[in-house]
Amino acid sequence: MINAKRLEENFRKLAMIGAQADGGITRLAFSDEDWEAHAIILELMEQAGLDVRVDAFGNLIGRREGFDPNAPAVMVGSHIDSVPCGGNFDGVAGVLAAIEVIQCLMANRIKTYHPIEVVVFMAEESSRFGMATLGSKAFCGKLSPEQLEQYTDKQGMTLAEAMRQRGLAPEKIGLAQYPYPIKVFLELHIEQGKVLETMGKQIGIVTGIAAPTRLRVVVSGQADHSGATPMNMRQDALTAAAEIILQVEQLAGREGHNGTVGTTGIIKAEPGVMNVIPGRVELGIDIRGISETSKQQVVQSLFKEIAEIQNRRGVQTEITILADEKPVEISREIVEFLHDIAKQQKSSCMLLPSGAGHDAMHMAAIAPTGMIFVPCKGGISHNPAEWASIEDIAAGTGLLFEAVVKLAAE
């Protein structure tokens, strides 16, 4: 029933938008490329018979009416923005799978009691404005006008300004909050990890979604001449920062059995010249996990270690908590529901947690939520080499279709 060729053609259309000469795809949130891709998705949604509207943050919502227009909607979707030089499957797979489900319902003249809505969330990636899953946050009422003015890109443009460029009114962001009950939200996504491929499974049913605590740590020492300053008289901000980086690795490693990981992804050293001892270093640290207790254990231990490093090395440190989100445990009922369908379809499947964050983690706060994973080659994502087979995506879409039909039936 799933039309794999149609899916493949739609992936091809999206792959052309933001394609880079040296490989990969760049569709940063609210960019021209992002907006062009949204126009293509809007056209596909209308071709599938959906009535499409745009909310106050730019999220696309396509509705297929049910026998009872007042019944809670069954909602499916994901995002289409990308990281710089990313792939064409992260997020896109979930959006195109959702549209394919609607296409199959229309082709087979299947009517449902509940309305079905396809949602395309804006700005899921943090690449442009430094914060992730902004569209689903707005959708769930978690984004304020003040935050829109605070978040900026590398050129200094605020999120509010980017919205105005697209004809949106930041001061009306509250209107983006979805005002109606939702029966269930489902998101299909590539795994962005190696588990399914390694285990030889075609389908993953997600049991929980990891969430990050993100920190900006600024280490301030003393910039001095590299030749004239003895080793025992230095206040080297970079060597202090190096110790902090190693502590992130070691502390997260101790909690690795609980699924917690730690990454230092940003290092900015100043003044950044060969013959000057670094006087200031800024670190961007991401600690995430599926266990809130384990994650907080790493965060609190890191704070203590940073204080010890500061005292021992004679530097100053400033810690800013950029985000502190709670991991999401997927409803056991939804997990079992999706798992049962997969078994009925004789799909090769397994249960697994998601190490990456997704729009679904915010939707879980307002509706029963489920996620379906399909493998990606080598576990590679956020990379030009990101790739998933149409066969696997079609299998996941088949599971999504059966789930939507059953959930929307009554």
Last residue of a domain, one of 267, 300, 324: 324
To the question of whether residue 362 is assigned a binding role by annotation, the answer is no
- To the question of whether residue 189 is assigned a binding role by annotation, the answer is yes
Q: How confident is the model at residue 149 (pLDDT cuts 50, 70, 90)?
A: very high
128 and 145 share one domain: yes
**What 3-state DSSP class applies to 179?**
coil
Q: How far apart are CA 115 and CA 136, in angstroms?
A: 20
Cβ neighbors of 249 (< 8 A, separation 6 or more) are 262, 264
Using left for φ > 0, alpha for ψ between -120 and 50, and beta otherwise, residue 207 falls in alpha
Same domain, 46 and 137: yes
Q: Give per-residue pLDDT as tens, 292-303.
A: 999 999 999 999
For 308-338, the pLDDT digits (tens) are: 999 999 999 999 998 898 898 888 999 999 9
Residue 325's pLDDT is 86
Report the CATH number that the domain containing residue 253 is assigned in CATH.
3.30.70.360
Domain count, the chain: 2
- 191 marked as part of a ligand binding site: no
In CATH, what number is assigned to the domain containing residue 8? 3.40.630.10
Q: Does the annotation flag 410 for ligand binding?
A: no
Per-residue pLDDT band for 48 (boundaries 50, 70, 90) equals very high
- Shared-domain flag, residues 238 and 286: yes
Q: Cα(69)–Cα(47) distance, rounded to whole angstroms?
A: 21
The two tokens of residue 256 are: 């690795």
54 and 159 fall within a common domain: yes
The torsion region of residue 185 among left (phi > 0), alpha (psi -120 to 50) and beta comes to beta
Assess contact for 375 and 78: CB atoms under 8 A: no
Q: Is 79 annotated as a binding residue?
A: yes
Residue that finishes a domain, picked among 289, 309, 324? 324
Burial of 67 (0-12, 13-18, 19+ CB in 10 A): exposed
Domain shared by 307 and 341, yes or no: no
Domain that holds residue 296: 211-324
| Tokens read off for 109 | 């003249």
Using alpha carbons, list the distances in angstroms from residue 229 to 223, 276, 310, 315, 316. 10, 10, 20, 16, 19
**153-186: pLDDT as tens digits:** 999 999 999 999 999 999 999 999 999 999 999 9
CA 314, 320, 325: angle at the middle one, nearest 5? Answer: 140
Q: What is the CA radius of gyration of the chain?
A: 23
Say if residue 197 is in the same domain as residue 229: no
- 186 with 219, same domain: the answer is no
Q: Is 117 annotated as a binding residue?
A: no
Whole-number Cα distances in Å, 114 to 97, 391, 396: 19, 29, 22
Q: Which residue, 290, 324, 358, sits at the end of a domain?
A: 324
163, exposed or middle or buried, with CB in 10 Å at 0-12, 13-18, 19+? buried
Q: Per the annotation, does 38 bind a ligand?
A: no
The pTM of the full predicted model, rounded to 2 decimals, is 0.85
Same domain (yes/no): 67, 86: yes
Shared-domain flag, residues 378 and 319: no
Residues 193 and 114 in one domain: yes
What is the spatial distance between Cα 314 and Cα 233, in angstroms, rounded to a whole number? 10
347 and 312 housed in the same domain: no
On whether 382 is known to bind a ligand per the annotation, the reply is: yes
- H helices, E strands: number in the chain: 12, 13
Q: Are residues 16 and 67 in the same domain?
A: yes
pLDDT at residue 331, rounded to an integer: 87
Burial status of residue 27 (CB atoms within 10 A of its CB: 0-12, 13-18, 19 or more):
buried
